[in-house]
Copies of this chain bind each other. A is one copy, B any other.
Amino acid sequence: MPQPSNQPDFSLGANGLLPAIAQDVSSGKVLMLAWMNQEAYLETVSSGYATYFSRSRNTLWRKGEESGHRQRVVEIRIDCDADTILVVVEQTGAACHEGYASCFFRVLKSDNYTVDQPQVVDPHSVYKADSSSHRPTNSG
């Protein structure tokens, strides 16, 4: 069996992108899943703040650059296959562009997904009204 790389192996991801999970260091909540290419990963490591690759905008996405809801990196992990990244972060504000602490604010109850988390910030207060078309989603 080939030994996995001791670094994230971006050649394993479609278009050089690997899934990156952000987890809150305080609550343990899984906050979001986004994507990193090597450039985003290296910037995450060097800057100490989570940086993703926005697939919709086809560019680096410095999480919180507009909203201020940055993610300070506490630790970075890779999985056994070196094809998924886990970033443990200190989240400012809300990870989710809809104002929830986590993007996973809906839970399955009797065949339907129901919101069971409070909004911690008003999403309208975060993004300027005229920039809504540029508002990043969790997957960029």
Contacts and interface: CB of A to CB of B under 8 A. Distances in A.
A132 B78 contact: no
Contact of A77 (B78, B96, B108): B108
A138 interface: yes
Contact of A78 (B1, B23, B79, B113): B113
A121 interface: no
A130 to B, nearest CB: 14
Nearest to A100: B80
Copies of this chain, complex-wide, total 2
A33 B81 CA distance: 10
Interface string A11-52: 000100001010100001010110000000000010000000
Which of A98, A104, A137: most chain B CB closer than 10 A?
A: A104
Interface in A54-82: 75-81
A128 interface: no
B80 A113 contact: no
Given A106-B78, A113-B78, A30 B138 contact: no
Given A1-B132, A30-B23, A79 B103 contact: yes
